[in-house]
Amino acid sequence: MKSYFGYTRVSTAKQGAQGVSLIEQKSAIERYAAKNGFAIVEWFEERETAAKRGRPVFSRMLALLRRGKAAGVIIHKIDRSARNLKDWADLGEMIDAGVELHFAADALDLNSRGGRLSADIQAVVAADYIRNLREETRKGFYGRLKQGLYPLGAPVGYLDQGGGKPKIPDPATAPFVRQAFELYATRAYSLHALRDELVNRGFRRSSSRSLQVSSLSHLLNNPFYTGVIRLKTTGETFRGVHEPLVSVAMYERVQSILKGKLVHRVVTHDFTYRRLFSCGLCGGALIGERQKGRIYYRCHTKDCETAGVREDALSEAVNMLLHRVELTPDEVTEAKEYLARKRGEGVRRDAEAALTLQVASARSRLDRLTDAFVDGLIEKPVFEERRTSLVSDLARLEGNLADVDDHLARKQAEVARTLELAENLVLGYETARPAKKREILESMTSNRTLSGKNLEIRLRIPFEALARRPCFQLGAPHRCTPRTSETCARRREAVFAVIDNILDDDGKPAKSRAKSATSTKSTHRRDV
């Protein structure tokens, strides 16, 4: 009596746990073996899809058959053996080599031309079934994404509500997710320290799994918590309809910290302009060093024409720039009065109307971008890059529109911080510690470079507008016009325009405003 292998398979582990299909397959194979006088010496049971190659149990069985450990194998049906043509080709080669292949539910003589042709046709049909199933699954998957629904498992901080329903915040873990973003945004925690802090506060992934640093990094990099769905495999982004846990501004602040992490080193010399200025020719950082009692910042790139600059020359240039930005006491008083007048229900209605128009404009731009991609006017990489930016902008605007009062409060607080910084700016900077000076410069300037001997410092918005407000030190702009009338009025209007610019800003992140400021004419440029 010849010895044979028995092979049973189900597509998923869940089907295997139920066991119904495996039992039915095994019973049919046993009846077929008993009817034909075959002895089954070993069973091979697998819980893997046959649509892809690489099934471990199936591969081990083929290896044993090639070594002659059995005369052949008995399988329930053709689609249980292979649903991809490569695995079916491997089985065909073994049949040609004399290995017997029997199907308990199909009366096929694979040694005849007709039986082999029928088996090949059934194998092709099984492979086509998988292709069609994959295509329909993909259509349904992307259909859900276009509706703003996430068709995969809910990430940490959310709960599944079943098919066709958005994820909802998990009362047990959602507060810890918010805390993770808020704590990391303070720059006071590394990922390891943040993990320990959250664990001490009671955050757990589950009853049996501890919180890992890698999982925490994935959490902080996931835009799902801002209401944006991003597919990791393709990089595609979609606007979600689930409730965000953090604001887009908070998420982008965390991303800037994650991407801008520096290797922690022991600081031997805390130079004032450490890590602030760069070489405009090669892009390298200017490194501070002390020579003959003076501090120099030099470019250490070989053969670079940028030699270096003395610290007192940098301080002089910075002070000249700060003098142009600093507000007079009268300007601060008038600006605060103007800001107080801007508060009120009318401002809220105007802000809500402006945000509504901006949301509609963002959606229109997204639709036009999609039409351009469908018409073949732009390539897919460009389309994905632009869509990611538009989806993020749309999420930010919709978040501001949903809570317009908080949006106005943040804008007014931003104006107050700007006025506070611009008041007594020079004295506050001169008396500050080096770390505070660096913080002031980083918040006010977007580009600090030295090209050869040419020093260039560019201001961020709105400080650029403050530096450009009218200033007449030697008299009025016209011979017959008093300085106290037209000049002061124009300076006051310029300060008011800065306030309006901040309040009317469309909610772009600081880095986008910095990019806009960088593209404008330099506010300070000199040779040193």
| pLDDT (tens digit per residue) in 56-72 | 888 888 889 888 889 88
Same domain, 376 and 445: no
Question: Does the pLDDT at position 9 exceed 80?
Answer: yes
**Is there a contact between 378 and 370 (Cβ–Cβ < 8 Å)?**
no
Residue 505 maps to a domain: yes
Residue 517 has pLDDT above 50, yes or no: no
Q: Please tell me the total count of domains within the chain.
A: 4
Could you report the per-residue pLDDT of 440-470, keeping only the tens digit for each? 888 888 888 888 888 888 888 778 877 887 7
- Over residues 171-177, the mean pLDDT reads 90
For 461, list phi and psi in degrees, rounded to 5. -75, 135
Give the 3-state secondary structure of residue 261: coil
pLDDT band at 407 (very low <50, low <70, confident <90, very high): low
Among 93, 108, 140, the domain boundary falls at 140
- Does residue 433 sit in the same domain as residue 345? no
Same domain for 254 and 200? yes
Phi, psi of 296 (to 5 degrees): -120, 150
Tell me the longest C-alpha to C-alpha distance in the chain. 122
Domain match, 30 and 79 both: yes
Are 434 and 301 members of one domain?
yes
Segment 321-331, tens digit of pLDDT: 888 888 888 88
Helices 213-220 and 248-259, interaxial angle, to 10°? 130
The range of the structural domain enclosing residue 124 comes to 3-140
% of the chain at pLDDT higher than 90? 4
Q: For 470-498, what is the HEC assignment?
A: CCCCCCCCCCCCCHHHHHHHHHHHHHHHH
pLDDT tens digit string along 332-347? Answer: 888 877 777 766 555 6
Are both 10 and 91 inside the same structural domain?
Answer: yes
Burial class (CB in 10 A: 0-12, 13-18, 19+), 163: exposed
Confidence of residue 280 (pLDDT cuts 50, 70, 90): confident
pLDDT at 346: 59
Residue where a domain terminates, one of 90, 120, 140: 140
Q: What is the pLDDT of residues 501-512, one digit of tens each?
A: 766 654 444 344
Q: What CATH number does the domain containing 29 carry?
A: 3.40.50.1390
- b/e string for 439-475 if b means 16 or more Cβ within 10 A? ebbeebbbbbbbbeeebbbbbbbbbbbbbbbeeeeee
Are residue 318 and residue 388 in the same domain, yes or no?
no
- Statement to judge: residues 428 and 316 lie in one domain: yes
* 38 within 8 A of 4, measured Cβ to Cβ: yes
d(CA 163, CA 147): 12
| 250: CATH | 3.90.1750.20
Same-domain check for residues 349 and 294: no
- The per-residue pLDDT for 181 is 92
Same domain, 40 and 120: yes
What is the mean predicted confidence (pLDDT) over 91-113?
Answer: 84
| Rounded distance between C-alpha atoms, residue 203 and residue 175, angstroms | 9
- Residue pair 50/84 in contact (Cβ under 8 Å)? The answer is yes
Q: Which of 498, 413, 497, 493 is nearest to 462 (CA)?
A: 498
Examine residue 111 and state whether it is found in any structural domain, yes or no: yes
Share of the chain above pLDDT 70, in %: 83
From 385, 410, 435, give the residue that closes a domain: 410
